[in-house]
Amino acid sequence: MKINHIALIASSEEKADRFYLDLLGLKKAAAKTVEASLSLALFNLNFPLTYVSYYHDDLRFEIFILPESQPQLSPTHVCLEVNDREIFLSKCLGLGLPVKRVIKEGKEIVFIGDFDGHLFEIKEIQK
The helix/strand/coil state of 116 is coil
> pLDDT confidence of 95, banded at 50, 70, 90?
very high
For CA atoms 49, 68, 60, 25, the dihedral sign is positive
Give the CA dihedral 37, 49, 75, 91, nearest 10 degrees. 160
Structure confidence by residue, pLDDT tens digits, 53-87: 999 999 999 999 988 766 666 778 999 999 999 99
* Predicted structure pTM score: 0.83
Question: 6-124 — its CATH code?
Answer: 3.10.180.10
Which amino acid is residue 24, in one-letter code? L
The better pLDDT of the pair 3, 31 is held by 31
Pairing, β 77-82 against β 119-124: parallel
